Amino acid sequence: MVHSRLLASAYLTLALRAAAQVTVTVNATASHPIPTTLWGQMYEDISSGDGGLYAELLQNRAFQKVTPGSDDSLTAWGTVGSVNISVIADDQPVSSSLPNSLELVVPDGATGAVGFSNEGYWGIKVTESTTYNASFYYKVPEESIFSGDATIALQSSSGDVLASATIPISGAQTEWTQVAAELTPSSSAGDVNNVFTVTLDGEAAAGLTVDFALFSLFPPTFKDRPNGLRPDIAQDLVDMGPSFFRLPGGNNLEGNSIATRWKWNETVGSLLDRPGRPGTWGYINTDGLGIYEYLLWCEDAGMEPIMGVFAGYALDKTSVPEDQLQPYIQEAIDQIHFAVSDASANDAAALRASLGHPEPFNIRYIEIGNEDWISSQATETYGAYRWNAYATALKAEFPDLQFIATSLVSGPTLDPSPTSYDVHDYRSPSWYQEQVYYYDDFERNGTTYFEGEYSCQTDRNGDRWAYPSVLSAISEGAYMTGLERNSDIVFAAAYAPVLNHVNATDWTPNLIAFDAGNVYLSTSYYVQQLFAHNRGDEYLPSTLPERNGTLYWSVARNDSAVIIKVANLATDAASLTFQLPFDSVAESGVLTYITGSETDENTPEQPDLITPQTSTVETGSTFNYTAPASSFGVLVVGV
């Protein structure tokens, strides 16, 4: 309690200090160019790929990595009519990668529509005049005799049929057969409480057993890519203005164990050949969103990939022994060849070409591992042999690529010396306030830094935010002014995590929340967007903000404007005078900003509580600007 009172008193003192007039004199000569990669996105599979960015609408579509006969094996599935369904270990599976199937047993005397349903990922959005592509595989045991139709449908929770199609099912079909249909609703559903159903005529199918495998239901996708991305989430990510995308995530890359690590070659090609794996966040990853889909996404969104490779350490704190590393290093080499090499000279690159992308993807940065400081085992083995083995082999194979180390900057000492480090910071508002100058004192010795994961995680009392708040976003904005000032050595930065399904929250806060029907943009999203869309080409030195204060700024320019970013962490407005060293300065500038109460959050209940506002500010070679209380703003002034 005493600590809280002292902290509150300190903030009050700082707020009063910030209320005084501050003069900011801007230098006409840029100190350094701003990297084009500075602001981007970090992907992590926390209820964000399957059921999120990946557009597949059916949950547990292929019964991957489940125990046949268990209750969990039927997650998202239910019966229609009086039938029995179960997941079985099929003695004739649809593929070696997908050994399980759904067995439907229709009892004698059945009548009416009988079959099963899938509820999707906490609902299925059904929109009028939208075409949904449905498909599945089926086979019928030899002794069964049946000739009829399967009805594929989208239905509301009250049983209203929103769209349907019929597909012939033959009782003589003892081999797996894939069938497909288009579903086009004539009206939109009032909510997302809808299901996908497959039914047979009970009387005709009485006594029948049918096996099903690999279901799929896709809405239209971003850029109309087959097996592609949910367009509303993808578009909001694009609209943020990112210049890079870190893939395939951090913990997602490592896996819960070495055996369940992310394996690039099991995420490519036909969905029949993707076994999936236990994810690191408590559910099964289908790996429908694989390396090829990630890379196409980067290309479609105009982002540069920063790609990670597994580096011999898993989350169960096990490391691959030094004398057993070579196959894992070769796996990383093949992964990189898949992305960047000539298809005529390499088998992995030829695989990429066979999928429809003969030209290499544009990749410059490869990250070796993830958070190799997270345990003593990770730190010790990374420094002792893992970094050396990977960096030496990969640099020899790919001399034009740059490799990022994932141990702490402070140690252990790595050989060869890294040219770049990945830094992660999940912190409090006070930490971001205090660390705006974090990189200022770093030695300029050729080493560069990737702020690969950061977000203001807690409020002033140390409690986790459910959603980013005004305070958390402005704290991040203040810190980002320091990243921009030090962008001579900080070449990239990414808020993390990016996506979270509100019905399956594993981690808070996240940049974007979503459910089956909607996307909710956070206060932090808008700060990231303001930086990304107003990055400038060069950093202009200016009067420096007070260390550990409440008012922070940075100044950049492009060919036509000066771009001033101001974060005011005080709960009172702050007055600044800017002195610009240019002969011709526009008489007015455009200010875009967010402001509100410190604890204001955008939530599913109030998704637009805090959104960017725009106004005009009188400007000139010298002008005054009043930063609203608890605000982050960007002022663009023509020069």
Measuring CA to CA, which residue among 479, 484, 476, 592 is closest to residue 537?
Answer: 484
Q: Are strands 561-568 and 631-638 parallel, antiparallel or unpaired?
A: antiparallel
Structure tokens at 343: 């298809």
Q: Among 14-28, 185-199, 242-256, 415-429, which is the least confidently predicted range?
A: 14-28
Q: How confident is the model at residue 321 (pLDDT cuts 50, 70, 90)?
A: very high
In one-letter notation, the amino acid at residue 14 is L
Measuring CA to CA, which residue among 169, 237, 241, 250 is closest to residue 209?
Answer: 169
**pLDDT tens digit string along 450-503?**
999 999 999 999 999 999 999 999 999 999 999 999 999 999 999 999 999 999
Please, are residues 60 and 66 in contact by the beta-carbon 8 Å criterion?
yes
**pLDDT tens digit string along 561-585?**
999 999 999 999 999 999 999 999 9
CA distances to 98, 214, 611 from 283, rounded to whole Å, are 17, 18, 33
Mean local confidence (pLDDT), 97-108: 97
Q: How confident is the model at residue 395 (pLDDT cuts 50, 70, 90)?
A: very high
Mean local confidence (pLDDT), 35-64: 94
CA distances to 126, 191, 345, 379, 524 from 156, rounded to whole Å, are 9, 8, 53, 52, 35
